[in-house]
């Protein structure tokens, strides 16, 4: 095994850990943000209105900036960085930044002017719901929508930094959103006639802060772009050709979540909020581990494809799948078993009721069934995008999206909002399965030796973990009787014991960190 291969594998693992730590910080603060929102605003009509006003630009951000644009831009940038002169890389960045800004400014202006129609489109149930709910949502959307412009430029900057191995800065940037929203809820809300409007202003302030935060680091590596729109630039045209199909590729799960929100607006009041709070808990392991692995693997895969190294390419994807299963399976199990305790500990304060906890727990368990699939998509989709193949993921994405709508119509009436969450989980498994099958058929994904042993180690570890949680965790009614200190103490003890049992078993079974270094 060459020193270079060891170095590359160790570097990828280290980068993943850095992104994971930074993302963990952001997700913990994100949970703190949601605790503040749940305590002050609960799951009523005001909270529903804000979640829609925030979800629309946030959805478009994930679809365009972190989804289609990132998957199309990073492979092209990696190719330029490895095969062309520095001046050509700068020209690509200038042209891409300028063209992206022009498009985003136009979209933002149109969205602000048509905010009421956008709300009606994304939350049709608000039209016949409580009086003023649609108007309140539209007013907040006019404040939050410019976040799409700001965060998309931030995501562009983050893609550049990631491509040059600066993973920590983009991973830390979301912390600023959480801090801004917490500050707005605690200190700005009491000053406003409609307190929940403070959250919308918090989102806008965060977008400005996140973009400004990236600038010094781009300057340091000499790649701060000058905004020079050039839609005819060869690199920009290639990015645009890749972006169209990519919108439906890696972002299908986000489209499905948005469809859940649209249909939830037709159900009983509070359904949007219940889905939001349960989705946020699923986003913790997904964001920390799934996104971290996906973030470091796309630039690495793009470099291997650009240098024509298919063997290492296949090993990277296999590495990503193993890492996802090692963390995703026990995380999904813990979310299912501890649904009520987690929700009670984090959100059952102030305006959040027992009924809200019970309803959110139903959708949390349903989403958790799809957690592993959500994480696998983050690893499998880059296997196509790094090879500049966006047509296959879009075909698979369309199939998964249609399936999600069918599942929604079948499940939402008997299971209400939980049926919507379950439909999303089922369509995610379909998406991940089709992505994996395509990579295997092309010979891009080749499973490496050791899978049988890892499957046995993982199965026994999860069995021990599940037995521990079922035997030791008190009934969820008991959690309602404790104060915050008691809840945090017991939950912390359960998490610590789970980590010791699960990773202790893996250690005894022979799993080592060095097994997750890429080998030649």
In tens, the pLDDT along 283-305 reads 878 766 656 666 666 556 656 55
The pLDDT, as a whole number, for residue 520 is 40
Q: How many other CB atoms are there within 10 angstroms of residue 254's CB atom?
A: 18
pTM higher than 0.75 for the full model? no
**Pair 152, 64: CB distance under 8 Å:** yes
Average pLDDT rounded to a whole number, residues 148-168: 85
Average pLDDT rounded to a whole number, residues 71-81: 81
The pLDDT, as a whole number, for residue 309 is 62
Residue 482 CA neighbour count, 13 Å, CB half: 18
**d(Cα 213, Cα 220) in Å, to the nearest integer?**
13
Top pLDDT among 10 and 157 is at 157
Residue 493: is it exposed, middle or buried by C-beta count within 10 angstroms (0-12/13-18/19+)? exposed
Calculate what percentage of the chain has a pLDDT beyond 90.
Answer: 34
Question: Does 396 score more than 60 pLDDT?
Answer: yes
Top pLDDT among 86 and 209 is at 209
Question: Does 306 score more than 60 pLDDT?
Answer: no
The pLDDT, as a whole number, for residue 449 is 83
Going by pLDDT thresholds of 50, 70 and 90, the confidence category of residue 112 is very high
Average pLDDT rounded to a whole number, residues 76-91: 86
The pLDDT, as a whole number, for residue 75 is 80
Phi/psi-derived region of residue 132, left when phi > 0, alpha when psi is between -120 and 50, beta in every other case: left
Question: Does 139 score more than 90 pLDDT?
Answer: yes
Going by pLDDT thresholds of 50, 70 and 90, the confidence category of residue 272 is confident
C-alpha dist (Å) from residue 115 to 48, 56, 145, 507: 16, 10, 9, 54
The pLDDT, as a whole number, for residue 162 is 80
Top pLDDT among 10 and 238 is at 238
Going by pLDDT thresholds of 50, 70 and 90, the confidence category of residue 358 is very high
**Pair 202, 180: CB distance under 8 Å:** yes
Top pLDDT among 252 and 506 is at 506
The pLDDT, as a whole number, for residue 472 is 86
The pLDDT, as a whole number, for residue 297 is 64
Report how far apart the first and last C-alpha atoms of the chain are (Å, whole number). 6
**Pair 370, 410: CB distance under 8 Å:** no
The pLDDT, as a whole number, for residue 304 is 57
Q: What is the per-residue burial (b if ≥16 Cβ within 10 Å, else e) of 300-337?
A: bbbbbbbeeeeebbbbbbbbbbbbbbbbbbbbbbbbbb
Calculate what percentage of the chain has a pLDDT beyond 70.
Answer: 84
Angle between helices 197-220 and 174-183 (to 10 degrees): 150
In tens, the pLDDT along 43-60 reads 677 888 898 899 888 877
The pLDDT, as a whole number, for residue 267 is 84
Identify the CA nearest to 31 among candidates 135, 190, 182, 231.
182
Going by pLDDT thresholds of 50, 70 and 90, the confidence category of residue 10 is very low
Phi/psi-derived region of residue 233, left when phi > 0, alpha when psi is between -120 and 50, beta in every other case: beta
Length reported for the chain: 520
The pLDDT, as a whole number, for residue 191 is 93
Top pLDDT among 359 and 16 is at 359
Residue 465 CA neighbour count, 13 Å, CB half: 28
**d(Cα 146, Cα 149) in Å, to the nearest integer?**
5
Torsion over CA: 175, 176, 182, 185 (sign):
negative
The pLDDT, as a whole number, for residue 249 is 55
Going by pLDDT thresholds of 50, 70 and 90, the confidence category of residue 474 is confident
The pLDDT, as a whole number, for residue 4 is 39
In tens, the pLDDT along 486-505 reads 898 999 999 999 999 999 99
In tens, the pLDDT along 14-27 reads 555 566 666 667 77
Mean pLDDT for the chain overall: 83
The pLDDT, as a whole number, for residue 246 is 62
3-state helix, strand and coil shares in percent for the chain, rounded to the nearest 5: 85, 0, 15
Question: Does 2 score more than 50 pLDDT?
Answer: no
Average pLDDT rounded to a whole number, residues 69-77: 79
Question: Does 61 score more than 70 pLDDT?
Answer: yes
Q: To 10 degrees, the CA torsion angle through 44, 417, 342, 27?
A: -80
Average pLDDT rounded to a whole number, residues 18-40: 77
In tens, the pLDDT along 175-213 reads 899 999 999 999 999 999 999 999 999 999 999 999 999
Q: How many other CB atoms are there within 10 angstroms of residue 216's CB atom?
A: 10
In tens, the pLDDT along 318-352 reads 888 888 898 899 999 999 999 999 999 988 887 78
């Amino acid at each position: 095994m060459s020193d270079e291969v060891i170095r590359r594998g160790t570097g990828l693992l280290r980068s993943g850990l850095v992104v994971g730590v930074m993302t963990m910080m952001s997700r913990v603060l994100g949970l703190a943000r949601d605790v503040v929102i749940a305590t002050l605003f609960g799951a009523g009509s005001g909270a529903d209105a804000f979640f829609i006003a925030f979800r629309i630009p946030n959805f478009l951000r994930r679809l365009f900036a972190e989804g289609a644009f990132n998957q199309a831009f990073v492979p092209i940038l990696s190719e330029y960085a490895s095969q062309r002169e520095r001046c050509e890389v700068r020209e690509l960045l200038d042209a891409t930044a300028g063209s992206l800004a022009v498009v985003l400014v136009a979209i933002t202006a149109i969205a602000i002017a048509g905010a009421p129609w956008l709300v009606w489109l994304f939350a049709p149930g608000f039209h016949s719901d409580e009086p003023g709910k649609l108007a309140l949502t539209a007013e907040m959307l006019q404040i939050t929508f410019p976040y799409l412009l700001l965060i998309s430029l931030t995501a562009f900057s983050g893609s550049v930094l990631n491509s040059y191995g600066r993973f920590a800065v983009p991973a830390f940037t979301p912390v600023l959103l959480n801090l801004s929203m917490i500050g707005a809820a605690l200190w700005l809300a009491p000053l406003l006639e409609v307190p929940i409007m403070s959250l919308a202003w918090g989102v806008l302030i965060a977008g400005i802060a996140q973009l400004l935060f990236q600038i010094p680091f781009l300057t340091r590596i000499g790649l701060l772009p000058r905004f020079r729109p050039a839609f005819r630039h060869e690199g920009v045209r290639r990015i645009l050709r890749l972006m169209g199909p990519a919108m439906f590729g890696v972002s299908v799960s986000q489209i499905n979540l948005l469809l859940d929100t649209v249909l939830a607006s037709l159900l009983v009041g509070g359904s949007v909020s219940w889905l939001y709070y349960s989705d946020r808990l699923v986003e913790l392991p997904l964001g920390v581990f799934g996104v971290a692995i996906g973030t470091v693997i796309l630039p690495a895969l793009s470099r291997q494809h650009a240098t024509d190294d298919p063997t290492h390419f296949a090993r990277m994807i296999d590495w990503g799948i193993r890492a996802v299963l090692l963390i995703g399976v026990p995380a999904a199990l813990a979310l299912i078993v501890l649904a009520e305790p987690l929700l009670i500990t984090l959100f059952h304060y102030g305006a959040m009721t027992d009924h809200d906890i019970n309803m959110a727990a139903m959708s949390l368990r349903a989403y958790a069934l799809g957690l592993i699939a959500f994480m696998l998509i983050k690893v499998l989709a880059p296997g196509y995008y790094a090879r500049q193949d966006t047509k296959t993921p879009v075909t698979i994405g369309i199939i998964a999206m249609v399936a999600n709508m069918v599942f929604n119509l079948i499940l939402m009436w008997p299971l209400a909002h939980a049926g919507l969450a379950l439909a999303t989980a089922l369509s995610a498994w379909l998406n991940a399965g089709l992505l994996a099958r395509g990579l295997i058929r092309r010979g891009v994904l080749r499973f490496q030796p050791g899978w049988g042993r890892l499957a046995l180690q993982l199965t026994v570890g999860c069995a021990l973990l599940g037995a521990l949680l079922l035997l030791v965790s008190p009934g969820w009614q008991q959690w309602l009787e404790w104060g915050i200190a008691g809840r945090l103490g017991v939950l912390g003890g359960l998490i610590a014991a789970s980590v010791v049992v699960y990773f202790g078993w893996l250690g005894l079974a022979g799993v080592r960190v060095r097994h997750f270094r890429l080998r030649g």
